[in-house]
Each structure stands twice: as structure tokens, then as C-alpha cells.
Amino acid sequence: MGSAYVTHAAGYVDNGGPKLVTSRFGYEDSHTLARFEATGGYVGLRAALEKRPAEVHGEVREATLLGRGGAGFPAGVKWGFCPEGVWPRYLVVNGDESEPGTYKDRLLMERDPHQLIEGCLIACYALGLSQCFLYVRGEMALAQERIATALNEAYAAGYVGREILGSNFSVDVVLHWGAGAYIVGEETALIESLEGNRGMPRLKPPYFPAAIGLYGKPTIVNNVETLANLPWILENGAAAYRRYGSESSPGTRMFAVSGHVKRPGVYEVEQGVTTFRDLFYGEDFCQGIREGHELKMFIPGGGSAPWFFEEHLDLALEAAEVSAAGSMLGSGAIIVMDDSTDAVKACHRLVRFFARESCGKCSPCREGTGWEEKILQRILDGHGRPSDIDLLLDVGDNISPGPYPVAAHAAEGLEVVPFPPRQTTICPLGPSSVAPIVSTIRRFRHEFEARITRGDTIPVSAAPATAGGAGA
């Protein structure tokens, strides 16, 4: 407990806990090679190069480094899916951070680009990868600039490219950047985009691009934060890493806490030890809900996650625990909403996001998300129909059939349905649009009903007639 680092408009606050990935955030020049070298930079890479590649892979597997992009799959296991004897192999870094509420990879790329590059090199060495592509979200101009500068410095200094640090190990790391499409964060869509195509997810199986990925070759796709952990792991070892966090979720994670808390910020937190309550109310963290208000609900893992409520505050920040309770930790994006929040409006805004970002490949998502948005819009506009609540749930059921993951609520007789949802689609985007709908209707059905009832009482042309005639 007590491990945290804050980055917010007020600057940077060191709360005295372990900083496995944010150790340089306190320096103004944290993004420069000079600062990086002065603070243990590229030590993990040197340690890796003294080992055999298989040993480096073993170290990462033993550390149980869970993926930080959303699915939480162990990186060491994912790496092991590369088929033997098929070459070349590629590394694609997923820096397309776009999940609503998520703000950590941009910080890691802007503030410590060399740490990320070092992580990429360690992964390439462990797996015999021929080339690394660092795919940065298109809108993140400063991150692109910082990575370009860092790569230029690192190439010149012999850390990247031919015969790295005087060894035989040689690999090129290329900065690539997108152009605005949330779905490209899905790893097969990311690969399509990197091939110069529309960023639409590929049909599964294969479930992992480690089998068939970029140009049809074995490809590892890892999240920025995942790779940023590698220098620390290689410098200090898997055993030291496992001393932080819990047995099933070792290490730390970066959590962006946004919304109605007194001190929103990005916190590096030990996994499985700290609870949501610690994070929201702790003096070292968010310091409570804003003055004069109470917690109404919170989203524990980004816009795609089913919502949590007050009775979930004592759950630990641990992937398995959160999934069992009916949601997900996802991308470390926690959105806190107090009692002033209109549940229907917040639900509509998230559904509008998924409707906008649907790539259009699968019918249930392409048609369904747009339909959901239209229904919610008419409820907000005062034209909701009494049947709309059930219709929303029915449309959701076409995208994600069967019981949808939901947090338990004993008082309301709701039983927990664990994460993840089922899907009639290739990727989880469509099913994600159902999360805010099911979460709000099961808990705040009365808010929908009130809006619909009120809507019934408002005439369609409520505006007073003007001299120019109606509708002028």
C-alpha cells in the first residue's frame, strides 16, 4: 500500500511508493538520453544481452508480466506462441491509446521514450525479432516527436540499429503513427493499419497474431506500459518484480483516475494490494469525492467496462478479482461519477463513442451501436418511448447474447455475471457498447423511466410560435 505517483496539472508528486515505470517522471528532462543514461538507462538491456535470448524470455515468463493494454494476458506466455522456425518475426508496439478514460501510455511515451525503446529492444532480443514498429496514436504529436528524437539519439549512440552496444544483436526500431481510429487499438486491426489498410480487425482464429500477423508472419503486439516494465525486470530480476503486487498480478500498474474526485491523476499503484477505496479516498491518492457530493458509480477499466458502485469499493485493483465481480480492470482507466451525474447522459455519451468508432465490419455492431445511440438520443431529447428500455436491452442482446457481465447487487436481487461478455462480432467493440446500457438500466432504470415519462408530457413543438409562423 501507499505506492503512488501523481501527475496532474499541479506537477508531479512523489508519494514514496515503488516506481517501476514512472521513476523519471519527476525530472523536467526525463525524455532526454542524457537523463536516461544518468538514471540507470539501458542497464536492463545490457543485463539482457549478457543472457541467452531464451533466458530473457524465461525471466519475463517467470515475472508474470500481465499485458497492460486491456486483456491482461501474460506477456511471457503470449511471446511463446510464435511458431518455431517461421521467420521473420515482428514486434508491433501498441501505442494507440484511445479507450475512454485511459491516460498512461501517452505519459510513458512523452516523458520516458527511452525506457519504452529499451523495453522494445529487450523483447526483440528475447524472441529473435527482425524489426520493431512503434505505432503511436495519430493525435499524439508530442509523443511522436519525443520518440523520434529519442530514436535518433539512440541510433547515434549505438543503442538501436546495427550491432547494438558492440554485440551481434541488430534490430531496427521504426516510429509509425496512426490517423484517428479507436478500433486500431485491437491488435489485428493495428496490424491491418500498419500494412496500409483500413483498420478493421481480422477474423479469428488465429486468436493471436503471434501465429499469423504482420505480412502474414509471426508478430508480437504488446502495449506500451507492458514493454516499459521490461527494463526494470531485466535489471532487477523476476523474483524482485514478484515482490510487488499480488501472487496472480505482480508488479505495479498505472491508473488514471478521472472524473469527480478531488485530485484526479495518474497513479502508479501496486496491483492486488490497493483497493478502489484507497485510491479514491486516500490522502496519497485522490483525496475523496469532490466537496458536497457522494459517490454514485465508477467505471473500473475504461469505457468498455461494466460499471461498479459503492459496494465494490473494497475490491483490490487486481484483474482476476475485478473480472469475477462482473467487470474488468482493462486499461487502467477509472472514471468516478458523483451524485450529480445523469446516468442516462453518461450512458449515451459512451454509446455514441462506440457507434462512432465501429469499423462497420460486423453487422450486429455496425447496425446495433448506431441503433442504441439513436434510442438513447431520443430519450434524451424527450421523445423516448416506454418500450425503449427493453428495446435497448434487446439490441444489446443481439451483439452480446445471453447474460451480460454485471456487478452483483444483493439488495436488488442481482447476481454477478463475470467478465467477459459473449459476442456475435469479430472483436469486443460492439459488446463493449452494451456495458453502459446494461450497467445503467439494471441500476438506474428509474432514471430512464423518469426521462421517458417526462418526455411524454412535453409537446413535440414546445417552442413558442413566432410572428414568422411555426418552425421559423
Per the CB < 8 A criterion, the answer to whether 74 and 66 are in contact is: yes
Name the 3-class secondary structure at 295. strand
Q: In whole angstroms, how close is the CB of 312 to other proteins at the nearest point?
A: 18
- CA-based Rg of the chain, rounded to a whole angstrom? 23
Angle at 433 between CA 455 and CA 138, to 5 degrees: 115
Tell me which residues in 287-346 interact with other proteins (CB under 8 A).
299, 303, 333, 335, 337, 341, 345-346
Q: In whole angstroms, how close is the CB of 240 to other proteins at the nearest point?
A: 22
Q: Cα 237 vs. chain centroid, distance in angstroms? A: 26
Residue span 224-253 as binding mask against other proteins, x where in contact by CB under 8 A, dash where not: ------------------------------
For residue 219, which of 93, 313, 311, 106 has the smallest C-alpha distance?
93
Stretch that binds other proteins, among 310-318, 352-360, 388-396, 408-416 (CB under 8 A): 352-360
Q: In whole angstroms, how close is the CB of 147 to other proteins at the nearest point?
A: 8
HSE-up (13 A, CA, CB side) for residue 151: 19
Supply the DSSP string of 200-240, one letter for each residue: -PPPSSSSSTTTS-GGGS-EEEEEHHHHHTHHHHHHH-HHH
Q: How many CB atoms lie within 10 A of CB 417?
A: 16
For residue 15, which of 314, 290, 269, 277 has the smallest C-alpha distance?
269
Stretch that binds other proteins, among 215-223, 271-279, 400-408, 420-428 (CB under 8 A): 215-223
Nearest to other proteins of 146, 312 (CB atom) = 146
Q: Interface with other proteins includes 126 (CB under 8 A)? A: yes
CA distance 265 to 342: 23
Per the CB < 8 A criterion, the answer to whether 269 and 311 are in contact is: no
Q: In whole angstroms, how close is the CB of 200 to other proteins at the nearest point?
A: 8
Q: Which of 194, 210, 228, 376 binds other proteins (CB under 8 A)?
A: 194
CA distance 386 to 449: 7
Nearest to other proteins of 144, 229 (CB atom) = 144
Question: Helix %, strand %, coil % for the chain, to 5?
Answer: 40, 15, 45
Report helix angle 141-156 to 113-127, nearest 10: 60
Size (the chain), residues: 472
Q: Which of 26, 46, 81, 131 binds other proteins (CB under 8 A)?
A: 131
Nearest to other proteins of 346, 426 (CB atom) = 346
Tell me which residues in 251-270 interact with other proteins (CB under 8 A).
256-260, 264-266
Q: Interface with other proteins includes 350 (CB under 8 A)? A: yes
Nearest to other proteins of 158, 403 (CB atom) = 158
CA distance 306 to 298: 9
Nearest to other proteins of 7, 252 (CB atom) = 7
Residue type, 300: P
Q: In whole angstroms, how close is the CB of 225 to other proteins at the nearest point?
A: 13
Tell me which residues in 3-42 interact with other proteins (CB under 8 A).
7-9, 11, 28, 31
Q: Interface with other proteins includes 44 (CB under 8 A)? A: no
**49 Cβ neighbours under 8 A, 6+ residues apart:** 125, 164, 165, 167, 169
Q: Interface with other proteins includes 386 (CB under 8 A)? A: no
Tell me which residues in 86-125 interact with other proteins (CB under 8 A).
87-88, 97-103, 105-106, 110-111, 125
Q: Cα 231 vs. chain centroid, distance in angstroms? A: 21
Q: Interface with other proteins includes 46 (CB under 8 A)? A: no
Nearest to other proteins of 47, 299 (CB atom) = 299
Q: In whole angstroms, how close is the CB of 248 to other proteins at the nearest point?
A: 25
Nearest to other proteins of 107, 375 (CB atom) = 107
Nearest to other proteins of 100, 119 (CB atom) = 100
Cell 450497467, residue? 439
Q: In whole angstroms, how close is the CB of 191 to other proteins at the nearest point?
A: 10
Q: In whole angstroms, how close is the CB of 27 to other proteins at the nearest point?
A: 11
Q: In whole angstroms, how close is the CB of 411 to other proteins at the nearest point?
A: 26
Tell me which residues in 138-177 interact with other proteins (CB under 8 A).
138-142, 144-145, 147-149, 151-152, 155-156, 158, 160-162, 167-172, 174-177
CA distance 95 to 222: 9
How many residues belong to the site for other proteins (CB under 8 A)? 101
Q: Which of 166, 196, 459, 471 binds other proteins (CB under 8 A)?
A: 196
